[in-house]
């Protein structure tokens, strides 16, 4: 079993059941079983995969499915029911029709299975749906907002078995009028059934822990190259590296990261020679798609990385555009291998769990040496911009007050050296964000994503910029996409997601997300403050004050005004909306 386990998480749950299954079985048992198998294999399962869902289990004629995105869950439910309604069946084939319920809530993870209130409510909603229709909870309806094209009908509150509170429900069935077009609907990326892959940290087989930076650096470079392919879903470094040094089962990794393919390997680096082994595994079957070993001179390391990337893309049957081919081949790696070695040493320091003045100075020294060896090395200039942003944030040095100006200079040089380098654009966006220039930040983050669609740090940055620029619905869409790319670390981004829902006026969803955040970070004062605001808007002042009392016990000096002033909101009404929730609960906003 994997040592990396997420015991609880926020998930959208879809529960589906066949209408009149017992009647169908009584009339034609063999035909019904065959029809149900055909239905699952050719309609239901592909729809789930196409909407990034995971089938948790089959329960007789029922199915339980988990989604990271509530929009994906509802769009999947509607797509399935529309497809069922439009099917033309061969004569004599039993008609398989479903009821579907969808809920958003906290779930408990137990191996492949899930439990908890989120699952229970979904199971209770399913029988309330009309045959061929979908029934969703109010929190799901609030969460999808105007991001889907189907209009759900408000069907009031109901009480269901084993749930101690009334549930507000909304229903839809094929033929219902489409949703009215909003004045501005947030853009949503085209749906694709792209192959999904996680690149796990390559094992350091050199016998020297000091060589970890080299094996980690090569892993990062492969992820970086694959991230440039629009036809792939590539899990971010942060989530893949959660398995570094752990014992795991590939099937558990694939389930936890929601991918089909996993790349693993090892590196032995000695002197000027490198031995690299790699194997691409199809986690659904455990079969090796291919395996390869390279024994090369160190100067050939970039050719090895390029060959690995090309082999993966070919094996997954992804067609590269000419621009993607060029971006991978011209990946920004310098001609000078020693310069690249200094860069990856610095990158590991900047990404490391321990960040302080000492690691900052070591990273800056390594990056400056890389530039001495290759004055046109755009990634090294971008790394310096990144380092000085960290200095500004953490106030490590006496120059910290002017560190942003230093960072801006390096970011501009990085973009000038190579405007097609995603890290250069990301560094420029990062500096713009610290300078509260949201327009430039959005432009640079979008430029990075145009060059590397799977570049999770840039997508997370863009989501925060959209939030602070006053576009919370766009922020939510970007955050949900980023949670697909970075499922382990994305749990830390729940506070941003909750804040976006809070600013968007979707208080029930915001409260649920902040509660989930507190399960993962029980000592967070800021999450409690924002939860209290959501509860105030929901008309629960007593619960809001209880949460506030917990906050003050954790941090007696907490100030909402000081907290909110540190966040670069561009619209005063967004700050006022958060403060109004506290006022409604009778809580201070100073």
Q: Is 281 strand, coil or helix?
A: strand
Query: Helix 541-554 to helix 572-584 angle, to the nearest 10 degrees?
Result: 100
3-state secondary structure of 408: helix
Q: How far apart are CA 241 and CA 30, in angstroms?
A: 48
- Any idea which architecture 334-452 has in CATH? Alpha Horseshoe (1.25)
DSSP 300-334: GHHHHHHHHHHHHHHHTTPPPPHHHHHHHHT-S--
User: Could you say which DSSP state residue 245 is in?
Assistant: T
- For CATH 3.30.70.1230, the residue range(s) in the chain are 8-172
User: Where exactly does CATH 1.25.40.10 map onto the chain?
Assistant: 334-452, 468-590
pLDDT tens per residue, range 60-75: 889 999 998 899 999 9
| Residue 397 pLDDT | 92
**Most confidently predicted of 24-33, 245-254, 425-434, 472-481:** 425-434
The residue with tokens 């014992």 is 247
Of 286 and 544, which is predicted with more confidence?
544
Contact status, residue 226 vs residue 234, Cβ threshold 8 Å: yes
Q: What is the CA radius of gyration of the chain?
A: 25
Q: Are 585 and 541 in contact (CB under 8 A)?
A: yes
With vertex at residue 485, the alpha carbon angle to CA 479 and CA 487, rounded to the nearest 5 degrees, is: 85
- Name the pLDDT band for 329 (thresholds 50, 70, 90): low
Closest by CA position to 578, among listed 509, 515, 499, 508: 499
**Using CA atoms, how far apart are residues 332 and 402, in angstroms rounded to an integer?**
29
pLDDT band with cut points at 50, 70 and 90 for residue 330: low
DSSP letters spanning 492-554 = GGHHHHHHHHHHTT-HHHHHHHHHHHHHH-TT-HHHHHHHHHHHHHTT-HHHHHHHHHHHHHH
> Which part of the chain has CATH 3.40.50.11830?
196-331
Class of domain 8-172: alpha beta
CATH class of 196-331: alpha beta
Which is nearest to 532 in space by CA: 507, 569, 556? Answer: 507
pLDDT of residue 191: 46
Q: Answer for the pair 434, 395: CB distance below 8 angstroms, yes or no.
A: no
Percentage above 90 pLDDT, the chain? 69
Query: 468-590 has which CATH code?
Result: 1.25.40.10
Give whole-number Cα distances, 116 to 103, 104, 111, 206, 312, in Å: 12, 11, 14, 45, 38
What is the rounded distance in angstroms from the CA atom of residue 545 to the CA atom of residue 581?
A: 11
DSSP 16-46: EEETTHHHHHHH-HHHHHHHHHHHIIIIIHH
pLDDT band at 102 (very low <50, low <70, confident <90, very high): very high
How far CA 65 is from CA of 12, 77, 96, 271, 327, in Å, comes to 8, 10, 18, 51, 37
Per-residue exposure over 54-82, b if at least 16 CB sit within 10 Å of its own CB, e if not: bbbeeeebbbbbbbbbbbbbbbbbbbbbb
CB 224 within 8 A of CB 452: yes
pLDDT digits (tens, 9 = 90+) for 520-575: 889 999 999 999 999 999 999 999 999 999 999 999 999 999 999 999 999 999 99
Whether 2 shows a pLDDT value over 50: the answer reads no
Half-sphere exposure of residue 411: CA atoms within 13 angstroms, side-chain side: 29
Kindly tell me the sign of the dihedral angle through the C-alpha atoms of 551, 557, 561, 562.
negative
What predicted TM-score, i.e. pTM, was given to this entire model?
0.86
* Mean pLDDT value across residues 75-90: 92
Q: Read off φ and ψ for residue 422, nearest 5 degrees.
A: -55, -40
Per-residue model confidence as pLDDT tens digits over 143-173: 998 888 888 999 999 998 878 788 999 999 9
How high is the mean pLDDT of the chain?
90
pLDDT higher than 70, residue 179: no
C-alpha–C-alpha distance, residues 585 and 545, integer Å: 7
Which residue in 488, 495, 491, 486 sits closest to 464, CA to CA? 495
Whole-number Å distance between alpha carbons of 77 and 72: 9
């Amino acid at each position: 079993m994997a040592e990396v386990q997420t015991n609880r998480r926020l998930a959208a749950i879809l529960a589906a059941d066949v209408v009149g299954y017992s009647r169908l079985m009584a009339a034609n048992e063999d035909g019904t079983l065959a029809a149900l198998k055909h239905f699952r294999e050719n309609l239901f399962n592909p729809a789930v995969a196409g909407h990034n869902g995971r089938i948790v289990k089959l329960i007789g004629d029922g199915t339980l499915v988990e989604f990271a995105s509530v929009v994906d869950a509802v769009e999947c439910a509607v797509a399935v029911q529309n497809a069922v309604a439009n099917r033309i069946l061969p004569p004599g084939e039993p008609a398989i029709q479903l009821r579907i319920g969808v809920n958003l809530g906290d779930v408990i993870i137990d191996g492949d299975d899930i439990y908890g209130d989120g699952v229970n409510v979904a199971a209770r909603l399913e029988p309330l749906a009309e045959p061929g229709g979908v029934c969703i909870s109010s929190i799901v309806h609030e969460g999808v907002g105007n991001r889907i094209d189907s209009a759900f009908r408000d069907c009031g509150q109901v009480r269901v078995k084993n749930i101690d509170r009334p549930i507000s429900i909304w229903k839809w069935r094929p033929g219902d009028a489409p949703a009215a077009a909003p004045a501005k609907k947030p853009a949503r990326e085209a749906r694709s059934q792209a192959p999904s892959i996680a690149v796990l940290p390559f094992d350091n087989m050199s016998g020297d822990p000091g060589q970890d930076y080299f094996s980690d650096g090569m892993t990062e470079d492969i992820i970086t190259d694959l991230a440039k392919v629009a036809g792939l879903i590539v899990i971010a470094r942060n989530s893949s590296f959660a398995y570094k040094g752990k014992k795991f089962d590939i099937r558990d990794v694939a389930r936890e990261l929601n991918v089909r393919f996993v790349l693993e390997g090892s590196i032995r680096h000695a002197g000027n020679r490198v031995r690299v082994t790699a194997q691409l595994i199809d986690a659904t079957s455990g079969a090796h798609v291919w395996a390869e070993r390279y024994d090369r001179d160190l100067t050939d390391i970039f050719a090895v990385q390029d060959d690995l990337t090309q082999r993966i893309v070919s094996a997954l049957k992804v067609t590269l555009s000419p621009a993607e081919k060029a971006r991978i081949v011209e990946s920004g790696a310098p001609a000078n291998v020693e310069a690249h070695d200094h860069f990856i040493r610095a990158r590991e320091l900047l990404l490391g769990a321990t960040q302080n003045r000492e690691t900052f100075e070591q990273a800056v020294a390594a990056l400056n040496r890389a530039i001495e060896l290759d004055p046109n090395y755009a990634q090294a200039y971008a790394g310096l911009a990144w380092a000085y942003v960290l200095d500004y944030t953490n106030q490590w040095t006496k120059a910290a007050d002017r560190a942003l100006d230093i960072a801006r200079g390096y970011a501009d040089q990085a973009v000038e050296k190579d405007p097609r380098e995603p890290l250069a654009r990301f560094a420029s966006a990062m500096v713009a964000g610290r300078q509260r220039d949201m327009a430039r930040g959005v432009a640079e983050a979008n430029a990075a994503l145009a060059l590397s669609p799977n570049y999770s740090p840039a997508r997370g940055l863009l989501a925060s910029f959209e939030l602070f620029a006053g576009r919370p619905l766009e922020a939510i869409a970007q955050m949900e996409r980023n949670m697909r790319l970075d499922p382990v670390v994305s749990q830390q981004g729940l506070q941003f997601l909750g804040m976006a829902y809070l600013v968007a006026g979707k208080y029930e969803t915001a409260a649920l997300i902040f509660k989930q955040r507190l399960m993962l970070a029980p000592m967070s004062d800021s999450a409690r403050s924002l939860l209290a605001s959501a509860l105030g808007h929901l008309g629960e002042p007593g619960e809001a004050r209880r949460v506030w009392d917990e906050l003050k016990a954790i941090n007696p000096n907490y100030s909402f005004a000081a907290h909110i002033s540190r966040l670069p909101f561009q619209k005063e009404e967004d700050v006022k909306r958060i403060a109004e929730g506290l006022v409604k609960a009778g809580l201070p906003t100073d």
